[in-house]
Structure 1
Amino acid sequence: MTRILLVSGSGGVGKTTVAAATGLAASRRGLRTLVLSFDASRDLSGAFGLEGPARQGLPVRADDTLHLQELDVPSELQRRWISGRGEVAALLGGGLEDVTAEEVALTPGVDVLLALLLLDEHTRARTYELIVIDGPSTGELLRFTGGADAVGWFARRSRAPEQSARRVRPSRGDPEVLHGVSDRLMDVGALLRDPTVTTLRLVTTQDTRAEQATRRACTAFGLQGIALEGLVLNRLPPGDGNGSWAERLQRLVGSVPVTGVELQAEDVVGRGALEAFATRLYQGEDPAKPMSTHPVLGVEKDAVDAYRLEVRLPFVSKEEVVLSRREAELVIQVGAFRRNVLLPRMVARLATSGARMDGEKLVVEFTKERVLT
């Protein structure tokens, strides 16, 4: 199984440097590694000192065990468009035979669909043992991790409209193509929420505003079901190491491990600089090894007709959580963050019987309604 490592953070904190250095260090240990960038800024090529972006969005060989790839929306869409009858057209609703790929490239959300489809191809091919995703900003990565859920929501409700009073208009595209590609994207979503496959490293800096942004990100990714394995505190003052700022951040984030790396005297550009950065960051440890482990959270069976759903929500009090139920759909709202959870069939037929916060976990219980006689 291919391991997926997500690297993200606010803009300008050095997440591309961390992703590039991690991928290079992992490849030096013999892992077949791909560093995959969805960031429109195209910084990945620059981090390795390459001139210009990777060619037409295709993987570029950096050495025997390392490839780099930057998503190029126009090129990737052209490959999948097939005159408006391909998988992207099916996801967009079909009936687009007279629309060009260039026009569709401007549609909001197409970049997320293409990124998910690209990740699906790589995980199915198993060419790489490790995929390091140089993610865009935190908000954009949340769109990516939530994109598979959105497709799954549409696919399930369009296949079983009897489960909802709200009907989804049938797609004018090929239903077989739509269902095939939506199944693949739901598989990607399952991989992203499997902590044995996918983990997240958040990169931040010694900035007071970044502290609160980091806490919000921890909550948002927890709501999405993404396993946060640790934080990288970048650009510490020389001599600070894992000192005062790291300790302060550790107090804020609790059990999440924090690793610090000092501000470099020069820009981290090129393989030599990236290898030196990785040495300071990982101190000889395996860069692909999760910084911490997480139990699998999700739906568990407690007894006959009794289930519970667990979601990790760090830094959240029970007063901040708002739950609502729409037949087979559980809506979890935490401030500005929201997730629509489509419940498994055996749970969807049960009533929501209770909810509580257990430490950093939201626990929602489902049981069969009693019939009064």
Structure 2
Amino acid sequence: MHRLVLHAGRVEHSVISVAGSAKKRSSIVISVDLGRSLSEYLSDIGEVGYLPSKLTDNFYAMELDVQNEIEYRWKEFETILSLIPGLSFKDANAEDVAFLPGMDTLALLLKLDEIGKEKKYEYVQIHFPSSEKMLDFVMLPLNGEWFYQTTLPEIKNMLKLAKLVRSFIKMPDPDFMLSKINEYHSKLENIAKLVTDVDTTSARFDMDARYINAGKTTFASLSLFGINVDGVFTASDFDFASKRIIVKDFYDKPKDIEALGDIASELFEDPADIFRKTKLVKFDKNALEIQLDYINAPDMSVYQSKGQLAIKYKGLKRTIILPPHLRGKNVENAKISDGKFTVQFS
């Protein structure tokens, strides 16, 4: 895909954006919002289900159904679950597994990995019901990468031991388990690179001027995880670090995609444009710098351990694996100035 947009808020804003993009390229909206039904909003245009529905030549839509997605990939999910130590899912089915924590996020990650490999859509927009759900989505591959890097040596040692006791204990083949761990790590790594690639991916969310501090917290939280926020949908104008996309309080239920595309043309020239492109995380010889607008020093804490740097902000934690040239150094100080969070090493 050439462009990935993550959007949290009203479903019509996602649909309008994709309709605008569909004027120029193959585009799809994927909704994980069960409360604001994409299928209901588009019911006068066409049927939308858990598989991509083609509503015009370039406009596709789907609602991610976790249970159907797990049934579709049941063998793959069985393999993933078999890698979890101490848990047995021998008699489980897709309906049982769908309610496990994080399954909706995992299903979406696998779907995005599949869509990326298909190369059918140039513009992909994922619609989330809230910024919290969007954060869950971006945190899983980023934290998964950290978990893999920090635990792989221990996992390899455990699997070596498993080879010795396998003749006494019924368990999956250790070599098979390691190959699958590496395979799923590769998927997570690709998604992590995708969502933090400022040339491809950006996040947008709905923002109410009455709750501007909440919007600033969302902006800062996404920035902490390296997600470039390039726009906010709002009904009123105000100063903000990203583009303000001024929308109406309400849009009528659409009768055709072309009408939605016309609305998009009024809001922005092309939804696929990246309205703000900022490289959020930078390393130099003795420092780490993160672009973090709207964060105050008392909200932040930093600690270092074994070549890693953990940054905490309002209940969120991002752990960054330091590059080799910084791993032997210690944190000297950390400060926030002019929207930049800088950690100096010595």
Instruction: State which of 179, 202, 206 in structure 1 corresponds to 2:205.
Output: 202
TM-score, normalising length: structure 1: 0.80
1:106 maps to amino acid: F
- The corresponding residue for 1:300 is 283
**CA contact 1:193–1:227 (8 Å) conserved in 2:** yes
CA 1:26/1:336 → structure 2, altered by over 3 Å: closer, same or farther?
same
Structure 2 matches for 1:218-367, cutoff 5 A?
218-234=219-235, 245-246=236-237, 249-250=238-239, 253=240, 255-264=241-250, 266-267=252-253, 270-271=256-257, 273-282=259-268, 285-294=269-278, 296-302=279-285, 306=286, 308-367=287-346
- 1:74-153 maps to which residues of 2 (within 5 A)? 74-82=67-75, 85-87=78-80, 89-90=82-83, 95-153=88-146
The answer to whether the Cα contact below 8 Å between 1:313 and 1:361 also exists between their aligned partners in 2 is yes
- Displacement of 1:53: 6.8
- Between the aligned partners of 2:85 and 2:95, the Cα distance in structure 1 is 15
1:20 and 2:11 matched: no
Gaps of 5+ in 1: 163-168, 235-244, 368-373
- Aligned residue for 2:134, secondary structure, equals helix
What letter corresponds to residue 204 of structure 2 in structure 1? R
Q: What is the deviation of 1:42?
A: 5.6
**Residues 98-127 of structure 1: CA distance to partner in whole angstroms, max 9, x if unpaired?**
322221111011111111111111122222
CA offset at residue 275 of structure 1?
Answer: 3.0
Counterparts of 2:112 and 2:86, CA distance in 1: 22
1:268: Cα distance to partner? Answer: 5.0
Q: Is the partner of 1:77 in helix, strand or coil?
A: helix
Matched residue type, 1:204: M
Structure 2 runs not aligned, ≥5 long: 156-160, 163-170
Please show how residues 144-223 of structure 1 align to structure 2 within 5 Å: 144-161=137-154, 174-206=177-209, 208=210, 210-223=211-224
Deviates further, 135-144 or 35-44: 35-44
Q: Secondary structure at the match of 1:82?
A: helix
Q: What amino acid does structure 2 have at the position aligned with 1:194?
A: D
Deviations 1:160-191 (A, max 9, x none): 249xxxxxx99x76221122112211220111
Secondary structure of 1:86's counterpart equals helix
| CA 344–180 in structure 1, closer or farther in 2 if over 3 Å, else same | farther
Q: Is 1:43–2:43 an aligned residue pair?
A: no
**Secondary structure of residue in 1 paired with 2:272:** coil
Query: Given residue 336 of structure 1, which amino acid in structure 2 is its aligned partner?
Result: G
Match of 2:132, SS? helix
Match of 2:168 in 1: none
Report the CA distance shift for 1:69/1:347 in structure 2 as closer, same or farther (over 3 A).
farther
What corresponds to 2:158 in structure 1?
none
Structure 1 counterpart of 2:265, which letter?
T
1:236-290 Cα distance to aligned partner (Å, 9 max, x none): xxxxxxxxx31xx31xx3x3221212334744565355234323322xx112111
**CA 1:222/1:315 → structure 2, altered by over 3 Å: closer, same or farther?**
same
Q: What's the TM-score, normalizing by structure 2?
A: 0.85
Cα gap change, 1:51 to 1:230, in 2 (>3 Å): closer
- Quote the Cα distance in structure 2 between the aligned partners of 1:195 and 1:137: 21
Distance in 2 of aligned mates of 1:353 and 1:58: 52
CA apart distance, 1:336: 2.6
> Which protein has greater RCO, CA pairs closer than 8 Å, 6+ apart?
2
How far apart are 1:312 and its partner, in Å? Answer: 2.1
Pair 1:346–1:125, CA change in 2 (3 A): farther
Q: In the TM superposition, what is the alpha-carbon distance from 1:131 to its structure 2 partner?
A: 0.6
Identity of paired residues, percent? 23
Does the aligned pair in 1 maintain the 2:29–2:60 contact within 8 Å? yes
Q: Cα gap change, 1:74/1:50 in structure 2, threshold over 3 Å: closer, same or farther? A: farther
Partner of 2:8: 8
Name the amino acid aligned to 1:180: E
CA distance in 1, matches of 2:104, 2:186: 19
Label 1:212 to 1:84 Cα distance change in 2 as closer, same or farther (>3 A): closer
- Contact 2:19–2:258 (CA under 8 A) maintained in structure 1: no
1:76 is paired with a residue of what secondary structure?
helix
Residue identity in the other structure for 1:181: Y
